[in-house]
Structure 1
Amino acid sequence: MVWSILRRWRQRRITVKAFSAVHREYLHSLAIKAKTRQNREQCLRYVVEHLGAMPAVDVRPSHIARMIADIHDSGRRVTARRVLLEADALFYRAVLEDVLSSNPAAAVKPPHAPPARARLKWEEWLAIHDWAVMRGRLWFVCALRLALITGQRRSDLVRMRMDHIADGHLRIEQHKTGARIALPLDLRLDALGATLGDVIQDCMDYRRSGQYLLRKTGDRPLDPGSLSMRFAEARQAALPDADWSPRTPPTLHEIRSLSERLYRAQGIDTMTLLGHKRQHMTDQYNDDRGLSAGDWRQLRL
């Protein structure tokens, strides 16, 4: 009886804001990357901003649903889904800590969040590539070609080194996932008309030789952010009249999807190429988000 009274008293005193400190401490105990932790803490701040003053025991699914709807209606559709996931983790933790008897976020369905970013077409990549060639930006030409022929993320592109080549393969330990893949130097992308070995040789020739395939003067690696920035500038200059609506313009990362689509058409194992553990993850990259909606699908005998 006494324990039951003390438990209810404890529950009434703990607000969402107060318990968020417990959840934040839990996030810091996880073996996750700093960027992932930072993103999850940002989502946690949204929860505190909307529900922080409420006793955790008073939070109902309707409160969480309204919070998610507010975020979604403000145009932050993907953020709304991520905040719901973090709210679910927060209140699940509260159940484990005996602060709550049930998780109010578990009953809330995630809002629909269609992909906001447009896919990159081969013709658009080629226009950006040709624009860079005409302006003598050889390092950026190499970056575009390396991104396309390897299908890797920008964080992996800037870390590629000559000493990562062994036994006729470029070895890549992906920065985001830790996946380890080895791409043969004779891997050929038909659309590009080149092999991985050809592109690596171009990378070695565009500037004084160094260990990094993409490098600044003094053999210093490029910054992933600056690579994305240069891509956005080149896209705008090469395709000034492009209409991406209702989506946002494609970013450098969309070269990864383009690479997957081109290689799959050749019959290449793109799940291994991209470093995915499951085929459905690769299939998301293969989705061209409406680019081929008007095309005829030809049955081949």
Structure 2
Amino acid sequence: MWGTVRRWKQRRSTVNQFAVEYQTLLASQHLTSKTIANRSNCLRLLCEGIGTMRMSEVRPAHIAQLINTIWAGGRQFTARRVLYEAEAFFDQALLADLVDRNPASPVKAPPAKVARSRLTLELYQEIYTWASQHSQPWFAYALRLALATAQRRSDLVRMHKANIVDGHLHVEQFKTGARIALPLALQLNELAAPLREIIRESDDYRRPGSYLIRKKGDLPLGPESLSSNFTHARKAVTAGHNWGNKAPPTFHEIRSLSERLYRTQGINTRILLGHKRQSMTDEYNDDRGLTKDNYQRLTL
């Protein structure tokens, strides 16, 4: 009887049908909203490719074809993430007795080459100079704050004066949930001002407010505003530049530039960037002793 029910389930269930159950499982896990959104997007791409297939009929060749199609479309990192999500998806299907094996497991992840140009200090300075003259005042300030703190867009736009506690700017990273406390005495040599002074500058470009980067009414801006303004400024100062086979740098590359500059000053950039493992440097230490309620302090 059980074998008959099992075979019936396997013949009946499609990828799209199990995706509904899998989405519920993702929502029940202790994941950040950003992580759930990213994984849901990978699940959507998986369903777009093989959603109408019966679970039991999906073979490694089907997964490989989907991943290669995404990779060939220029989305190398997305292709890798979809493969990892497919493997987790079919692992759950195994537990639900919908498949006898995981068809994603034998598929090798495609190479994901870095296709974006690094941002140099010289180009950053050119962009900042242009922005100071032609952009909204908040954007020129955002460039300085980004270089001073090495944080992501989503964290920069959420920085609030209430986050300054005990001589530190506290950051709870939106993407990972990592908590770090940046000392107000932190100073990047190239900026010639400590973080304390750069925070004070937030009151110079507009009437004083609570958010460090803000629009009228003391309202925060969205991360997309940082990216679009950066792209506009970069295009203005690099008109006619040939980037070769790489894409031009984006606002996010300020984070990498900041890390590289701080590293030459001997700053612990693993803590600065909020990594458990510092893959961008030679340091691969586990972040031990960090609890949900504590911030890991960057020491100078």
Query: Could you tell me the TM-score, scaled by structure 1's length?
Result: 0.88
Q: Any conservation in 2 of the 1:151–1:259 contact (CA below 8 Å)? A: yes
State the shift of 1:41 in Å: 2.2
CA distance in 2, matches of 1:283, 1:237: 35
What's the secondary structure of 1:279's corresponding residue?
Answer: coil
Provide the rounded CA distance (Å) in 1 between the counterparts of 2:126 and 2:140.
11
Counterpart contact for 1:118–1:244, Cα < 8 Å: yes
Deviations 1:233-288 (A, max 9, x none): 1111122233223111111111000000000011111111111111226669xxxx
Residue 202 of structure 1, CA deviation:
1.7
Q: CA deviation at 1:117?
A: 1.7
The equivalent residue for 2:220 is 221
1-structure distance, mates of 2:235, 2:55: 48
**Partner residue in 1 for 2:53:** 54
The AA in structure 2 aligned to 1:255 is I
Change (3 A) 1:174 1:38: closer
1:86-165 → structure 2 map (5 Å cutoff): 86-135=85-134, 137-165=136-164
Asked if the contact 2:71–2:79 (Cα under 8 Å) also holds between the matched residues in 1, the reply is yes
Alignment gaps of 5+ in structure 2: 284-300
State which drifts further: 45-54 or 256-265: 45-54
Q: Is the 8 A contact 1:128 1:239 kept in 2?
A: no
Deviations 1:18-74 (A, max 9, x none): 222221221222222333323322222222222223221122111211121122222
Give the structure 2 partner of residue 27 of structure 1.
Answer: 26
Instruction: Give yes or no for contact 1:15–1:55 (8 Å, CA) kept in 2.
Output: yes
**Residue in 1 that maps onto 2:165:** 166
Give the distance between the partners of 1:178 and 1:34, measured in 2 at CA.
10
SS class of match (1:258): helix
Greater CA deviation, 82-91 or 163-172? 163-172
Matched with 2:193 is: 194
Q: Is the CA contact (8 Å cut-off) linking 2:32 and 2:176 kept in structure 1?
A: no
Q: 1:276·1:282 contact (CA, 8 Å) conserved in 2?
A: no
DSSP 3-state at the match of 2:191: coil
**1:19 to 1:136, Cα distance in 2 relative to 1, 3 A:** closer
TM-score by length of 2: 0.88
Cα-Cα RMSD = 1.9
Alpha-carbon separation, structure 2, partners of 1:34 and 1:9: 36
Instruction: State the partner residue of 2:7.
Output: 8
Aligned residues: 283
> Secondary structure of 1:172's partner?
strand
Distance in 2 (CA, whole Å) between partners of 1:88 and 1:281 is: 26
Q: Which amino acid aligns with 1:14?
A: S
Which residue number in structure 2 is paired with residue 248 of structure 1? 247
Q: Distance in 2 between matches of 1:168 and 1:253?
A: 27
Mark the CA change 1:240 to 1:215 in structure 2 (over 3 Å): closer, same or farther: same
CA–CA separation in structure 1 for the residues paired with 2:105 and 2:135: 55
Residue 200 of structure 1: CA displacement?
A: 1.4
Separation in structure 2 between the aligned mates of residue 155 and residue 205 of structure 1, nearest angstrom = 22
Q: Is the 8 A contact 2:15 2:47 kept in 1?
A: yes
Q: Which amino acid aligns with 2:119?
A: L
Give the residue type in structure 2 aligned to 1:85. Y
SS in 1 for 2:279: helix
State the distance in 2 between where 1:275 and 1:153 align: 10
Q: 1:119-155 CA distances to partner (integer Å, 9 max, x unpaired)?
A: 1111110000111223374322211110001101111
| 1: CA distance, partners of 2:34 / 2:165 | 31
The CA deviation at 1:174 is 1.8
Partner of 1:210: 209
Of the structure 1 ranges 144-153 and 184-193, higher mean CA displacement relative to structure 2 is found in 184-193
